[in-house]
Amino acid sequence: MSLLVIGSLALDTIETPFGKAERTLGGSATFISTSASYFTSPVRLVGIVGYDFPKEEVEFLKSKNIDVSGLEISETQKTFHWHGKYDFDLNTRESLVTELNAFETFDPVISEKFRDSEYVCLGNLHPALQKKVIAQIAQPKLVMCDTMNFWIEGALNDLLEILKHVNLLVINDSEARELTKEFNLVIAARKIMKMGPQILIIKKGEHGALLFTSDSIFSAPAYPLEEVFDPTGAGDTFAGGLMGWIAKTKDLSTDNLKLAVIYGSTMASLAVEKFSLDGIRHLSNEQIMKRFSEFKKLTFFKEESL
């Protein structure tokens, strides 16, 4: 049941057409671990924050049964701060401020206690750092990795190197196309799977996600929401639900991976309904299962032949 999550913890300032939130909890590791905490516990968190990181947010993470013993707190630097502004359609965003602060010197050392982690979730980080993490895990059963266009453009060799050690890559459609120089996502997927990952998930934002395994393709819809308040962290929340379900069930069959994708989508749909992490701070199993059942209504159809 041991899930290790590594990534950024941040204080985000977010502007959307619906409002503005200042220095709210953000970062990939925050969303991933909170989302995963509904499925498996304790989630092992590795990351770094600054001296200004609110104590109550550390308490919040603990309250979700997240093991924060791997959370480094810099005494000299502030927490990673990102200020982003979303366009009216919420599909494009502009980074107004990116202050790495403490995160710039992040050099993840995995404690003895965490080295036996079976499931590893590498949030979006420089691939060289991601590689360093993998090297410290004794016998991972599944390594999941997220990345972004920034690394495809600026650290391609490191990225290609880490992909050889990754079992499950989560990437968005534009990144998949950029990485492979292929527009067709099915062809892009095959090319990426030749780079290493046996399992690939291509996220398509409002159009859902595609899961590719060696012998199947699965298409999960996004939940059609009338009001998306803040898409920040949607992809990380997806990854958290996905990996949380996998760590809970320890089942890597295609059927179970499909279900993991639906749980990831379920969590992401709940996250974007509120600002920052608020959509997934306090959820009951009933709330999660209610949304999960909406996904069934959204995709299931009766079977009747011609």
3-state secondary structure the chain: CCEEEECCCEEEEEEECCEEEEEEEECHHHHHHHHHCCCCCCEEEEEEECCCCCHHHHHHHHHCCEEEEEEEECCCCCCEEEEEEECCCCCCEEEEEEECHHHHHCCCCCCHHHCCCCEEEECCCCHHHHHHHHHHCCCCCEEEEECCHHHHHHCHHHHHHHHCCCCEEEEEHHHHHHHHCCCCHHHHHHHHHHCCCCEEEEECHHHCEEEEECCEEEEECCCCCCCCCCCCCHHHHHHHHHHHHHHHHCCCCHHHHHHHHHHHHHHHHHHCCCCCCHHHHCCCHHHHHHHHHHHHHHHCCCCCCC
Among 93, 204, 274, 281, binds a second copy (CB under 8 A): 204
298 in contact with a second copy (CB under 8 A): yes
Question: Judged by CB, which is closer to a second copy: 136, or 174?
Answer: 174
Question: Judged by CB, which is closer to a second copy: 133, or 262?
Answer: 262
Choices 101-109, 119-127, 136-144, 256-264 (CB under 8 A): range interacting with a second copy: 256-264
Among 171, 242, 262, 277, binds a second copy (CB under 8 A): 262
185 in contact with a second copy (CB under 8 A): yes
Contacts (CB under 8 A) with a second copy, residues 53-92: 88-89
285 in contact with a second copy (CB under 8 A): yes
Least separation, in Å, of the C-beta of 18 and a second copy? 12
Least separation, in Å, of the C-beta of 42 and a second copy? 17
Among 75, 92, 214, 297, binds a second copy (CB under 8 A): 297
187 in contact with a second copy (CB under 8 A): yes
207 in contact with a second copy (CB under 8 A): yes
42 in contact with a second copy (CB under 8 A): no
Binding residues for a second copy, rule: CB under 8 A, are: 38-39, 88-89, 183-187, 190, 204, 206-208, 210, 216-219, 221, 224-228, 249, 255-256, 258-259, 261-263, 285, 288-289, 292, 296-306
